[in-house]
């Protein structure tokens, strides 16, 4: 099996590449190494995290907005399945540059869907997001809930991806599964996300901003559980579906911070702030659908944050 991963130098993409190579698949990566966050981290994921896998994957540096580039990759490699993760991924920054989010996330995904149909891809698994649930108040969030009221440009692009995937499944018979990831965390994670920022600031004695005055709940999902969910849906070849992937414990943000403090061995200087535009106070996943496919999350925040802080200290020499 040859699998193409877009966003292959990203947090989730690099971890997915490792798991696919481990199970014997051939892996092709696409990434444009943009500077939304430090591209060095993206290069290091490939050079350090995937050090023992050098020569076991093929990397194409390029942009999913570039259809000629995509055609070159698909024509050269005989791809069987696609894991499409490349995207502009920040909720808050999408408010600053909605057009860029539309270009990369909507048109880029459309380019990928076109290429997948043309090259007869068996299964197209792509990243959606829990943010599509917007300010829905019925918890936990279920795939059958209405998601017609996104509250950030980022969420709107992810909802758009689900709509286009449905069109391509229906009209061209392309198998597609959209994965609604719930707050992913773990080693080699993204610097723009809470765990990374909190760890950095607590370590260096700077105050942390705690939004919605700490009244936030999340199903934090450990990277290994996300990867096993991706593999489960990649194997399943569903005709069209969207699936939640979230941890099985509803965690308060305050507890999350406590576990970070315990692992760093230092108390945080907390600045309580109102909720940010585009952000949602609570995301809790109904994970029944993916569980029914044989998947279950296995890592709690106590173990997951410990792994992250250990990695952070090693990587930054903190
Ligand atoms: N991490 C989370 O908590 C989370 C939650 C919900 C959804 N998601 C989605 O999962 C996917 C992966 O997220 P991640 O956390 O690994 O983010 P990431 O930013 O680490 O990875 C995305 C990768 O895509 C690449 N990329 C961006 N634009 C590109 C383009 N135009 N062409 C080629 N490559 C491009 C980036 O360089 C990056 O390496 C994204 O689609 C994101 O929206 C992530």
The pLDDT of residue 19: 98
Alpha carbon of 306 to ligand 1 centroid (Å): 24
Strands of 144-261, DSSP E: 176-181, 184-185, 208-210, 217-218, 221-222, 240-245, 251-252
266 in a domain, yes or no? no
What is the crossing angle of helices 194-203 and 253-264, to 10°?
40
41 in a domain, yes or no? yes
Q: How many domains does the chain have?
A: 1
Question: Ligand 1 site: residues with CB under 6 angstroms?
Answer: 7, 9-13, 30-34, 42, 63-65, 85-89, 104, 108, 127, 129, 181, 183-184, 190
316 in a domain, yes or no? no
Give tens-digit pLDDT for 199-246. Answer: 999 999 999 999 999 999 999 999 999 999 999 999 999 999 999 999
Give tens-digit pLDDT for 45-62. Answer: 999 999 999 999 999 999
Alpha carbon of 130 to ligand 1 centroid (Å): 14
Ligand 1 atom 42 nearest Cα: 89
The pLDDT of residue 263: 98
**Using CA of residue 249, residue 252, residue 256, residue 259, what is the dihedral sign?**
negative
CATH of the domain at 13: 3.40.50.720
The pLDDT of residue 318: 66
87 in a domain, yes or no? yes
| Mean pLDDT (whole number) for 25-36 | 98
The pLDDT of residue 6: 99
35 in a domain, yes or no? yes
With a CB cutoff of 8 Å and minimum separation 6, the contacts of 96 are: none
Note down the domain range covering 107: 2-185+220-248+283-298
Contact by Cβ (8 Å): 108, 163: no
Alpha carbon of 4 to ligand 1 centroid (Å): 15
The pLDDT of residue 276: 87
State the Cα–Cα distance between residues 287 and 292, nearest whole angstrom. 9
Give tens-digit pLDDT for 168-184. Answer: 999 999 999 999 999 99
Q: Which atom of ligand 1 is nearest to the CA of 34?
A: 37
Contact by Cβ (8 Å): 236, 174: no
Contacts of 309-318 with CB under 8 Å at 24 or more apart are 309/199, 309/260, 309/263, 309/264, 310/187, 310/263, 311/187, 311/188, 312/187, 312/196, 312/199, 312/200, 312/203, 315/44, 318/203
132 in a domain, yes or no? yes
The residue to mutate among 87, 152, 178, 230, having the most atoms of ligand 1 within 8 angstroms of its beta carbon, is 87
The pLDDT of residue 47: 98
The pLDDT of residue 67: 98
HSE-up (13 A, CA, CB side) for residue 273: 12
In this prediction, what percent of the chain has a pLDDT beyond 90?
94
User: Is 158's pLDDT higher than 80?
Assistant: yes
The CA–CA distances, whole Å, from 44 to 7, 51, 110, 188 equal 14, 9, 29, 9
What is the pLDDT confidence band of residue 131, given thresholds at 50, 70 and 90? very high
What is the crossing angle of helices 153-172 and 108-118, to 10°?
20
What are residue 59's phi and psi, to 5 degrees? Answer: -105, 130
Active site residue 154: yes
The pLDDT of residue 126: 99
The pLDDT of residue 296: 97
253 in a domain, yes or no? no
85 in a domain, yes or no? yes
CB-based burial, 219-235: b 16+ in 10 Å, e otherwise: bbbbbbbbbbbbbbbbe
What is the pLDDT confidence band of residue 280, given thresholds at 50, 70 and 90? confident
The pLDDT of residue 281: 87
pTM of the model: 0.97
| Mean pLDDT (whole number) for 282-299 | 96
User: Is 277's pLDDT higher than 90?
Assistant: no
Ligand 1 atom 11 nearest Cα: 85
User: Is 278's pLDDT higher than 80?
Assistant: no
């Amino acid at each position: 099996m040859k699998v193409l991963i877009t966003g292959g130098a990203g947090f989730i993409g690099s971890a997915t590449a490792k798991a696919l190579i481990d199970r014997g698949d051939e892996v092709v990566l696409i990434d444009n190494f943009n500077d939304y966050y430090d591209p060095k981290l993206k290069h290091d994921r490939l050079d350090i995290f995937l050090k023992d896998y050098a020569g076991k994957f093929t990397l194409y540096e390029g942009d999913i907005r570039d259809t000629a580039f995509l055609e070159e990759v698909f024509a050269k490699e005989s791809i069987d399945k696609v894991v499409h993760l490349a995207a502009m991924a920040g909720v808050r920054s999408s408010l600053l540059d909605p057009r860029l989010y539309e270009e990369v996330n909507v048109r880029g995904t459309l380019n990928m869907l076109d290429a997948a149909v043309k090259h007869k891809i068996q299964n197209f698994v792509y990243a959606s997001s829990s943010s599509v649930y917007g300010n829905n108040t019925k918890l936990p969030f279920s795939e059958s809930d209405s998601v017609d009221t996104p509250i950030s440009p980022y969420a709107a692009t992810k909802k758009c991806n689900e709509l286009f995937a449905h069109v391509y499944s229906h009209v061209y018979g392309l198998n597609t599964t959209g994965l609604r990831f719930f707050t992913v965390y773990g080693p080699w994670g993204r610097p723009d996300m809470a765990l990374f920022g909190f760890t950095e600031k607590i370590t260096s004695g700077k105050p942390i901003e705690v939004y919605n005055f700490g009244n936030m709940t999340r199903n934090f999902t450990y990277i290994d559980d996300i990867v096993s969910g991706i593999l489960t849906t990649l194997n399943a070849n569903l005709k069209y579906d969207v699936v939640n992937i979230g941890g099985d414990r509803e965690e308060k943000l305050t507890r999350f911070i406590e576990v970070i403090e315990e692992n760093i061995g230092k108390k945080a200087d907390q600045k309580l702030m109102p909720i940010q535009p585009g952000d949602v106070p609570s995301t809790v996943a109904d994970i029944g659908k993916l569980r029914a496919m044989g998947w279950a999350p296995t890592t709690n925040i106590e173990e997951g944050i410990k792994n992250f802080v250990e990695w952070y200290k090693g990587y930054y020499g903190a």
